[in-house]
Amino acid sequence: MNENMNITPMNSAQIRQQERFDRKGTAVAEKMLRQVRELSHMPETLEPFLKTLESIFSRREDALRPQGVPTVGTYCVMVPPELIYAQGAMPVKLCGGSYTAFGIGDDIAPRDACPLVKAVMGFEEIDAMPVYQNCSLMAVPVTCDCKKKLAGWLQERRPTAVLHVPANRDRDEDMERFVGELYRFSEQLEQMTGFSLTYGRLADACRMTADAQYQLSRFIDLRRKHSRIIRGSFSMAVMNALSYTWLPDWTKQLSDLNDELASLAKQKKTAAKENQPRILLTGSPVIFPNFKLPLLIESMGGLLAADETCMGERGFYDPPAIVDRTVDGMLRALSNRATRPCTCPTFADNLRRIYRIRQLIKDYRIQGVIYHVLRGCLVYDYEYRQLEEEMGKLGIPVIRVETDYNEEDVEQLRIRVEAFIELIKYGGKQE
């Protein structure tokens, strides 16, 4: 069966798959959204973000954007959105979290490939998601092994830009090589949109992302100062919605949310009780609709106070520090931002991730760390050991949770998460 999958005219298997996707694919997304909405203390201004997720996954619409703007599918945080906006396109993050698409991708990818890539391949196979199908260009940074093969696989079907990410970054040339990659990527974008890279356009785009990141910084600042102001599941929904929203719209929505949170903070209202354990979620990306883990944490009486995942806050956290106000200077800043501070474990040297988590623990007064590992996500699994050791020194409990893209293990996970939260709440030393 596998050999016939790639032939373009729809065969019966594909039709069956599409039917299955129509039946089940949207159901999971709707269920997850319903669960998010059922959580208590949802800020009113969160609704637009959930609407975005709903329109993409449930109603299966394309990303909202001005007329005539093509979309570029991006796969990792290393693809700078500034560059894409500057050249007249809109980036959408396409890393998949759909269980149904995973099921389809499962037949194409090898058994041990990670579910994220399987989901992407599944979406690619069935012709049902306009966000995927309407992309004019795919940008895949070569990060982990699965993404590397995905890049090759996509290249056969779609116009794809493969960005070579250095595996190490202690030498300056590593970063400078990525500047070259960005220039090449920019050429591909220019062929697609007809807009060349000029100072004015890039400066405008950088300002646009800076506005969004300013709001994100406000959001982070609010959460740091009032660690119980908003539930982490909501925050993850905000960050996931970013992937499919035209950036100025997202900035506006987040600005409204910030205003509401600021006023809530003034009234001393909180989304959680004082004794709810504050949990940090880190590890493999948590991508909508795979909100299993954040929802479990929050429904079992924990508070997801912060996350360190690349589809969460981390994905948009680092701002480019533009030192040199020239095209080259800005590209250097973008390249610098994409490589040096990135805590992706695909880099060989990644001690900064531990430091980053330590800082998060301090900022949000974290009491426990849940380490999310997607089955087959080796690079994240590798770093668990190191983190466990470090957390042992700090006296912070850690738990490694391995899941796949299905709902079969939810009950098992529930027991483990519950036990972990109880452990923090009642066992061990109290604050």
Partner 1 sequence: MKKNKILIAVLIALMLAVLAYFAADIPFYTYPETGVTASLQSETDTELTFSVAGNAVFSLGWFEAMMPFTIIVGLSLVCILLDVLLRKRLYRKNNVPCARTERMKFGRKQNLPRFGFEMIRWSIMILSFVLLIWGGKILGTALSSLQLPILACPYNEEQLTGAGCFLFSNLDMLAESSVDEILWFAGSFIVCAVLFGRLLCGFVCPLGFVQDVMHELRQKLHTEGIPLNEKLYAGLRFAKWIMLLIFLGIGLIGGSFCDFCPAITLSPALAGFKTSLYFSGFMMVVVLVSGFFKRRCFCNICPMGYLLGLPHKVSLARLKKNAVACTECGACYEACPMGIKSIYTVREGKNELSIDVTTADCIFCGECIRRCPEDGALFMTFAGKKIYTASRMKFMRDYTTPRRKKAAENE
The Cα 97–Cα 197 span in angstroms is: 33
- The answer to whether 93 touches 77, Cβ cutoff 8 Å, is no
- The answer to whether 94 touches 71, Cβ cutoff 8 Å, is no
CB of 161 to partner 1, least distance (A): 16
Q: What contacts 340, CB < 8 A, 6 or more positions away?
A: 169, 175
Residue number, 331 or 379, with CB nearest to partner 1: 331
Site for partner 1 (CB under 8 A): which residue of 51, 145, 199, 418? 199
389 binds partner 1 (CB under 8 A): no
Of 10-18, 271-279, 297-305, 328-336, which segment contacts partner 1 by CB under 8 A?
328-336
CB of 191 to partner 1, least distance (A): 12
226 binds partner 1 (CB under 8 A): no
Backbone phi, psi, residue 244, to 5°: -120, 15
Residue number, 351 or 410, with CB nearest to partner 1: 351
346 binds partner 1 (CB under 8 A): no
31 binds partner 1 (CB under 8 A): no
- The answer to whether 108 touches 84, Cβ cutoff 8 Å, is no
The Cα 69–Cα 248 span in angstroms is: 14
Q: What contacts 4, CB < 8 A, 6 or more positions away?
A: 11, 13
11 binds partner 1 (CB under 8 A): no
Residue number, 362 or 385, with CB nearest to partner 1: 362
The Cα 141–Cα 65 span in angstroms is: 24
Site for partner 1 (CB under 8 A): which residue of 20, 358, 375, 400? 358
Site for partner 1 (CB under 8 A): which residue of 37, 134, 355, 410? 355
Residue ranges in 241-260 that form contacts with partner 1 under rule CB under 8 A: 248, 258-259
CB of 317 to partner 1, least distance (A): 9
83 binds partner 1 (CB under 8 A): no
Site for partner 1 (CB under 8 A): which residue of 333, 344, 396, 398? 333
CB of 330 to partner 1, least distance (A): 10
The Cα 282–Cα 284 span in angstroms is: 7
Site for partner 1 (CB under 8 A): which residue of 71, 193, 290, 336? 336
352 binds partner 1 (CB under 8 A): yes
Site for partner 1 (CB under 8 A): which residue of 197, 238, 272, 374? 197
The alpha helices in 81-161, defined as continuous H runs, are: 81-86, 99-106, 115-125, 130-133, 145-157
Chain Cα centroid distance, residue 4 = 32
CB of 210 to partner 1, least distance (A): 4
168 binds partner 1 (CB under 8 A): no
- The answer to whether 256 touches 45, Cβ cutoff 8 Å, is yes
Residue number, 20 or 340, with CB nearest to partner 1: 340
Cβ burial 397-424 (10 Å sphere, 16+ → b, else e): bbbbbbbbbbeeeeeebeebbbebbeeb
Single-letter code of the amino acid located at 239: M
Three-class DSSP category at 139 = strand
Residue number, 189 or 293, with CB nearest to partner 1: 189
Single-letter code of the amino acid located at 353: R
Tokens, residue 218: 């406000």
Site for partner 1 (CB under 8 A): which residue of 13, 208, 265, 399? 208
Of 45-53, 274-282, 340-348, 371-379, which segment contacts partner 1 by CB under 8 A?
340-348
- The answer to whether 226 touches 270, Cβ cutoff 8 Å, is yes
> Angle at the Cα of 344 (from 190 to 369), degrees rounded to 5?
140
CB of 122 to partner 1, least distance (A): 34
Residue number, 124 or 181, with CB nearest to partner 1: 181
DSSP string, 323-366: -S-SHHHHHHHHHHHHHTT---TTSS--HHHHHHHHHHHHHHT-
Residue number, 275 or 326, with CB nearest to partner 1: 326
Residue number, 155 or 213, with CB nearest to partner 1: 213
Of 103-111, 290-298, 322-330, 384-392, which segment contacts partner 1 by CB under 8 A?
322-330
- Residue identified by tokens 């849940």 is 370
The Cα 257–Cα 311 span in angstroms is: 19
Site for partner 1 (CB under 8 A): which residue of 5, 13, 27, 210? 210
Residues lying near partner 1 in the complex (CB under 8 A) are found at 85, 88, 170-173, 175-176, 183, 186, 190, 194-201, 203-208, 210-211, 213-214, 217-218, 220-221, 248, 258-259, 262, 318-319, 321-329, 331-333, 336-337, 340-341, 343, 351-352, 355-356, 358-359, 362
